[in-house]
Structure 1
Amino acid sequence: APIVRTTGHKSEGMEGILEAIILVAENKISFNSQGVKYGQEIENEIKIIQDLLEKNNKIPGKHGTRWLPVKLLENDKDIRDAVNSPEIDNQIEKSVAHIEKITGESPETSIAAGRYGFISGACQEAVRSTIEIRHTVSDRIDAVLTNRVLGLPVFLGLMYLVFYLTFTLGDPPMGWIEDFFAWLSGAVAGLWPEGSDSLIKSLLTEGIIGGVGGVIVFLPNILLLFLAIAILEDTGYMARAAFIMDRLMHKIGLHGKSFIPMLIGFGCSVPAIMATRTLENRQDRLTTMLVIPLMSCGARLPIYALIIPAFFPQALHGTMLWIMYIIGILLAILSAKLLRKTIFSGESVPFVMELPPYRMPTVKSVFIHMWDRGKLYLKKAGTIILGISILLWVISTFPKLPESEIKQFESEKQMMQEKITDNEEKNKYAASIESRFAEESLRYSIAGRIGSFIEPFLKPIGFDWKIGTALIGAFAAKEVFVAQLGIVHSVGKVEEDSETLREKLKSTYNPLTGFCIMLFCLISTPCMATTAIVVRESGSWKWAMLQLGGLTIMAYIFTFIAFQAGRILGIGI
């Protein structure tokens, strides 16, 4: 067969290889069909199993007669279940024992070695490359990036750079989107006469635009973070990050392989928990699964992006974001250590990792990865968050204040207008009365009553009933916290010149409360999707409930310590 030059990540040579495949398929050119040979002992066992499969008519139509015995020797669970023959299972056990006795290795190891040997030989005959030069360059880079002393500081420095750029580059487009939704809210409100209390107007401006718009505003930050992660993944650095953390992970009873799902957790906890399937040891897998939500996922970034600019100077934006991510990593490591010392005590499995060569990421690949993740965020905003925002608007709007109380506010407003002649003073008092009316209306609603009920439990950690109602919504999806804050702080305030949510938060709370909000949202119970995937992957509600309760208690304790310490020391108040 012809040798076709290709470059996979640049999509070069794809047409040539397709033409060669067609020619071979149509028998227009000859080719060597010599397959991979695994050594005499394994080949003998493959033949025995192959004959047994044919004898028992146990070869499904879509599988090759040679491929099936190889997969059975590799202990492929799905294939063994598909064959489902006690006689064949018995023969496989005999074959595995024989191979291990003769070769001193498991069939999986021997078969993998055979494949790599075949690939290596084929590459030596057909591929021309500068692999030695590339390996030399890779070795030189690794001498710094995976150095026992320099590796961790470089990793932390790269993380800081990512978060600094996420805020610095994301701020201008975020402002444009914020201005657009402010204009849209005012334009929609303008469709009704001034002073109108239409429920449809309130739903559109406060529920949908205020809720969903408040989440979409942070799309630039989300895209920039995912862009940076995609670049680090495509260059091969993420594998080095796991290697760097291996020594530290061993000290807590895990290994570097557990850090890979934790790194994926920076994007989303759901695929991160699914990635724990690569861990052979069930104790390692469950431990990693339970601590993954402590890694700041993309859903928490909108909360950080809302709170940090509201309470901290611009020079500290990147630093504060970096601190939140580091706190999450440290708490995950400490929690894993505790779990391995108590519930999941035992030895960890040794970890040997093959570091891929460094590669120059392509623009196409990086942007595909970034957009795939960003698209999921937008889809979530347009479906789950939209639905929850409407639900939260309903419970934040109903029931309405009793007619007697509404008339009391109207009477007070009328008296004020008759007594005060100065227009500036009149507008000031009118705004004050409207603000009190909006707050009392919200307190009287279902959300307000729930928030008021839990407020005594939240006061020791610096939260009021409004933050409490937002935390309830965050149980469904973390981004909803931002949406609900937008709803509760915009009720009755849909004018074009109304304050932004950040300005409202800044005038209501202090930096200490802002930090405690981020800390609580970082540690507290994961979203419903994460809980569901933990149930599925662990096979039990027990571990999901342990995670749910444990993280909620842990969030309260750490936030209580942070708030009370800050209050006593006078920090951020």
Structure 2
Amino acid sequence: MSENLTIGFIGNPNCGKTTLFNAYTGANLKVANWPGVTVEKVEGAIKDHDLNIRLVDLPGTYSLTSYTMEEQVSRQFILSDEVDVIIDVADASALERNLYLTLQLLELGKPVVLALNMMDIVEKRGMEIDTHRLPELLGIPVIPVSARKRTGLDVLLHAAAHHKDCKDPECLIHHHKYISKHRHNHHAEYAMVYSDNIEDKIDLIIEELKRKYPDLTNYRWHAIKLLEQDQEITKRYSVNLPTVIDRNYESDIINEKYDFIQEIIKEVLVNKDRQDALTEKADRALTHRVWGIPIFLGIMAVVFFLTFTIGDWIKGYLEVGIESFSALVSDMLVATGVNEVLCSLIVDGIIAGVGGILTFLPNIFILFLALAFLEDSGYMARVAYVMEGIMSKLGLSGRAFIPMILGFGCTVPAIMASRTLENKHDRFKVMLITPFMSCSARLPIYILFAEMFFKERAMIVAYSMYLIGLVVAILVAAVIHLIDKRKSENYLLIELPEYKIPSSRTVAIYVWEKVKDYLTKAGTTIFVASIAMWILLNFGPHGYTTEMVDSFGAVLGHWLVPFFEPIGLGYWQIAVALIAGISAKEVVVSSCAVLFGIPNITSEAGMNTLVGILGTAGFGQLNAFCLMIFCLLYIPCAAAMATIKREARSWKWMCFSAVFQLAVAWGMTFIIYHIGRIV
């Protein structure tokens, strides 16, 4: 019968844990060349070495002293009895920085295997690591791997399977050149040995812990944490040793760990100062204090140029296909004598609503393809670094800009990424401003109304929505910072990874997941919303009606008109579409198709028809621009609201966020509409 084995993958942010996890499990987890991608532990299962192996990918952490939510997730799992073997994934090209976590893990007394990832980068730089001396110094297996090239994976798993029962110091083989003068000769037992003063204190604390907590394991690790005055450990395992724990020894312990790391590096690493010339040269421009932000805006402008030009070219073929399909289905239903009501539901409701959204698939595909290249190349981490100056003036770290950038793709993972912030107060502020970033779901709205009303300037108008969303988020953060009494200083600590050619597999996984989500939404949320919208517009107080003005939708829309009229959107059809858009932002487009009875709304003929209908009602360029602004800023989709509730653990905060964003949207649109009328 097969045994069960749980392996935890832990390591610094951006060390390649998730890529390694994907290589073993085949999971299509998001992988990017920047920190903070994994924000909660993810599990997979494989069978190997006659073992049922459970693999757990943990959020990146620099140490077991947890500050952020993601670091707490990693620490709690590593300390639990669930994990049998720890695979410490280290970026071999930045070995010095990664070994700090390794030394902390060794103190837990659990089986640890060190995976030296990114060995291909080490070789490219001309660096060399002595993989025979390193395990002698650490006393654990050290396996060179390349998760991207999938080399060394079998050897790593083999080492983990055979190292699973090594929990006692006797299992660890150390070949230190040091002769200890300490009375306990800890060099024979542990890889990391501190100064005699600290070792004496650790020994005394261990004696007290054994007396007071006889069932406790990992006595040495707990003693060290008590010396560091770790809040969680001090609260759970208090000891009355005022003469031993007479102050916080955290900085002393950290310094001694890094002294030992320096000794290790001197012995095992050759040519450690060699840097990647391309990365260094590119960063002179891309992270420049003056030119960094304009370059970022220019890159995003190129992304939108490609999204519109290439996307619209492909979109034209989809429009023709969906139009032909709609006509074919309509003819078939009429020929087979299908009831007029059912025929209207299928053609005017489902096909018009879902088909209108599907035509934007090429634009969505191009957008996510470009974002995937930027992420996996290592550029996005630089954007957070460049924005540090602005964000610090708002009382936030440049790290807070990472969730905001993620918001360009989808608000849900962007809000989840707020976990990377240390301060709970800051997380709430980021959750409040992140929905102002223009997610991909809003793109169909921009494309439709920009191309209808602004023609050759459509791309510029759509791009302006992304800039306006960014500016509004920054302005709101500035106002909050001015009125916030709980001000705190924030500093950016972020790894700037080496630039690399994006992995075709990583990019393909990322784009496919986003496209799949879009198609799934079209087949579920938008499908249901299209049917609901058709029912709302074809039934009224007196039953089924072909006159939309007599429908429940018209009644609801007219109730809402007084709210939307001061911002230039006082049309009952627009009001109903915006309410429907709370389920998913794309629904605004599918709702317009149903509301105005235009099955091929994204085609040139469909758009001309809609412009004519709206133009007759006095809806012009200014109204269209205001509609896009309101869609950009008002209540995020239902999924995003649910995520805010889950992350904040508060219904009140979720409701406050919705009301706040609606108020900001109404206020901004009101200002723009009335300034536009004057101009």
Q: TM-score range by the shorter chain?
A: 0.7 to 0.9
Kindly state the Cα deviation for residue 505 of structure 1 after the two structures are TM-superposed.
2.8
Task: Give the counterpart of 1:39 among 184, 187, 194.
Answer: 194
> Which moves more between the two structures, 188-197 or 211-220?
188-197
Return the alpha-carbon distance in structure 1 between the equivalents of residues 506 and 247 of structure 2: 42
Return the alpha-carbon distance in structure 2 between the equivalents of residues 521 and 35 of structure 1: 60
Q: Report the counterpart of residue 371 of structure 1 in structure 2.
A: 512
Kindly state the Cα deviation for residue 22 of structure 1 after the two structures are TM-superposed.
6.1
Matched letter for residue 458 of structure 1 = F
Return the alpha-carbon distance in structure 1 between the equivalents of residues 510 and 266 of structure 2: 32
Matched letter for residue 506 of structure 1 = V
Return the alpha-carbon distance in structure 2 between the equivalents of residues 10 and 487 of structure 1: 50
Q: Check if 1:446 corresponds to 2:446.
A: no
Q: Check if 1:330 corresponds to 2:471.
A: yes
Q: Report the counterpart of residue 391 of structure 2 in structure 1.
A: 249
Kindly state the Cα deviation for residue 357 of structure 1 after the two structures are TM-superposed.
2.1
Q: Report the counterpart of residue 281 of structure 1 in structure 2.
A: 423
Alignment of 1:287-326 (within 5 A): 287-314=429-456, 316-326=457-467
Q: Would the aligned equivalents of 1:183 and 1:496 in 2 still touch at CA under 8 Å?
A: no
Return the alpha-carbon distance in structure 1 between the equivalents of residues 243 and 439 of structure 2: 46
Task: Give the counterpart of 1:510 among 605, 620, 628.
Answer: 620
Q: Check if 1:177 corresponds to 2:282.
A: no
Return the alpha-carbon distance in structure 2 between the equivalents of residues 122 and 200 of structure 1: 75
Q: Deviations over 1:516-551 (max 9, x none)?
A: 111000011112222222223223333322221122
Task: Give the counterpart of 1:89 among 237, 240, 247.
Answer: 237
Q: Would the aligned equivalents of 1:186 and 1:495 in 2 still touch at CA under 8 Å?
A: no
SS in 2 for 1:267: coil
Q: Deviations over 1:196-255 (max 9, x none)?
A: 762222222222222222222222222222222222221221111011111111222222
Kindly state the Cα deviation for residue 500 of structure 1 after the two structures are TM-superposed.
5.1
SS in 2 for 1:90: coil
Residues 53/5 of structure 1: CA separation in 2 closer, same or farther (3 Å cut): same
Q: Report the counterpart of residue 11 of structure 1 in structure 2.
A: 150
Q: Check if 1:269 corresponds to 2:411.
A: yes
Task: Give the counterpart of 1:394 among 507, 532, 535.
Answer: 535
Matched letter for residue 557 of structure 2 = G
Structure 1: runs of 5+ lacking an equivalent: 407-437
Q: Check if 1:482 corresponds to 2:624.
A: no
Return the alpha-carbon distance in structure 2 between the equivalents of residues 73 and 261 of structure 1: 35
Q: Check if 1:164 corresponds to 2:316.
A: no
Kindly state the Cα deviation for residue 278 of structure 1 after the two structures are TM-superposed.
1.9
Q: Would the aligned equivalents of 2:385 and 2:494 in 1 still touch at CA under 8 Å?
A: yes
Q: Report the counterpart of residue 177 of structure 2 in structure 1.
A: none
Q: Report the counterpart of residue 562 of structure 2 in structure 1.
A: 456
Q: Report the counterpart of residue 259 of structure 1 in structure 2.
A: 401
Return the alpha-carbon distance in structure 2 between the equivalents of residues 472 and 517 of structure 1: 13
Percent identity (aligned): 37
Residues 499/153 of structure 1: CA separation in 2 closer, same or farther (3 Å cut): closer
Q: Would the aligned equivalents of 1:37 and 1:43 in 2 still touch at CA under 8 Å?
A: no
Matched letter for residue 526 of structure 1 = P
TM-score with structure 2 length normalisation?
0.67
Q: Would the aligned equivalents of 2:398 and 2:492 in 1 still touch at CA under 8 Å?
A: yes
Q: Which has the higher strand share?
A: 2
Q: Report the counterpart of residue 545 of structure 1 in structure 2.
A: 655
Q: Check if 1:556 corresponds to 2:666.
A: yes
Q: Would the aligned equivalents of 1:165 and 1:318 in 2 still touch at CA under 8 Å?
A: no
Q: Would the aligned equivalents of 2:356 and 2:599 in 1 still touch at CA under 8 Å?
A: no
Return the alpha-carbon distance in structure 2 between the equivalents of residues 159 and 288 of structure 1: 22
Residues 339/123 of structure 1: CA separation in 2 closer, same or farther (3 Å cut): same
Relative contact order higher in (CA < 8 Å, ≥ 6 apart): 1
> Which moves more between the two structures, 117-126 or 519-528?
117-126
Return the alpha-carbon distance in structure 1 between the equivalents of residues 357 and 588 of structure 2: 9
Residues 369/94 of structure 1: CA separation in 2 closer, same or farther (3 Å cut): farther
Q: Would the aligned equivalents of 2:441 and 2:586 in 1 still touch at CA under 8 Å?
A: yes
SS in 1 for 2:440: coil
Q: Would the aligned equivalents of 1:160 and 1:318 in 2 still touch at CA under 8 Å?
A: no
Matched letter for residue 455 of structure 2 = P
Return the alpha-carbon distance in structure 1 between the equivalents of residues 449 and 602 of structure 2: 21
Matched letter for residue 383 of structure 1 = T
Task: Give the counterpart of 2:213 among 50, 56, 61.
Answer: 56
SS in 2 for 1:192: helix
SS in 1 for 2:540: coil
Kindly state the Cα deviation for residue 460 of structure 1 after the two structures are TM-superposed.
2.7
Q: Which has the higher helix share?
A: 1
Residues 234/45 of structure 1: CA separation in 2 closer, same or farther (3 Å cut): farther
Return the alpha-carbon distance in structure 1 between the equivalents of residues 655 and 584 of structure 2: 17
Q: Deviations over 1:9-35 (max 9, x none)?
A: 2323434544565677799xx984787
Q: Would the aligned equivalents of 1:24 and 1:31 in 2 still touch at CA under 8 Å?
A: no
Q: Deviations over 1:461-501 (max 9, x none)?
A: 222111111011012221211121111122xx669999754
Return the alpha-carbon distance in structure 1 between the equivalents of residues 506 and 411 of structure 2: 22
Return the alpha-carbon distance in structure 2 between the equivalents of residues 285 and 460 of structure 1: 34
Return the alpha-carbon distance in structure 2 between the equivalents of residues 95 and 531 of structure 1: 51
Residues 74/201 of structure 1: CA separation in 2 closer, same or farther (3 Å cut): farther
Matched letter for residue 672 of structure 2 = A
Residues 502/124 of structure 1: CA separation in 2 closer, same or farther (3 Å cut): farther
Q: Report the counterpart of residue 579 of structure 2 in structure 1.
A: 472
Q: Check if 1:531 corresponds to 2:638.
A: no
Kindly state the Cα deviation for residue 172 of structure 1 after the two structures are TM-superposed.
2.2
Q: Would the aligned equivalents of 1:396 and 1:445 in 2 still touch at CA under 8 Å?
A: yes
> Which moves more between the two structures, 468-477 or 324-333?
468-477
Return the alpha-carbon distance in structure 2 between the equivalents of residues 495 and 374 of structure 1: 22
Alignment of 1:149-228 (within 5 A): 149-193=290-334, 198-228=340-370
Return the alpha-carbon distance in structure 2 between the equivalents of residues 294 and 233 of structure 1: 21
Q: Would the aligned equivalents of 1:489 and 1:501 in 2 still touch at CA under 8 Å?
A: no
Residues 541/228 of structure 1: CA separation in 2 closer, same or farther (3 Å cut): same
Return the alpha-carbon distance in structure 1 between the equivalents of residues 237 and 508 of structure 2: 47
Return the alpha-carbon distance in structure 1 between the equivalents of residues 455 and 400 of structure 2: 36
Q: Report the counterpart of residue 339 of structure 1 in structure 2.
A: 480
Kindly state the Cα deviation for residue 305 of structure 1 after the two structures are TM-superposed.
2.2
Return the alpha-carbon distance in structure 2 between the equivalents of residues 292 and 301 of structure 1: 17
Q: Report the counterpart of residue 519 of structure 1 in structure 2.
A: 629
Return the alpha-carbon distance in structure 2 between the equivalents of residues 259 and 297 of structure 1: 15
SS in 1 for 2:304: helix
Return the alpha-carbon distance in structure 2 between the equivalents of residues 527 and 93 of structure 1: 54
Q: Would the aligned equivalents of 2:287 and 2:386 in 1 still touch at CA under 8 Å?
A: yes
Q: Report the counterpart of residue 677 of structure 2 in structure 1.
A: 567
Return the alpha-carbon distance in structure 1 between the equivalents of residues 441 and 601 of structure 2: 28
SS in 2 for 1:132: coil
Aligned length: 513
Return the alpha-carbon distance in structure 2 between the equivalents of residues 552 and 192 of structure 1: 42
Q: Would the aligned equivalents of 2:409 and 2:439 in 1 still touch at CA under 8 Å?
A: yes
Q: Would the aligned equivalents of 1:265 and 1:297 in 2 still touch at CA under 8 Å?
A: yes
Q: Report the counterpart of residue 432 of structure 1 in structure 2.
A: none
SS in 1 for 2:355: helix
Return the alpha-carbon distance in structure 2 between the equivalents of residues 153 and 475 of structure 1: 33
Kindly state the Cα deviation for residue 398 of structure 1 after the two structures are TM-superposed.
0.9
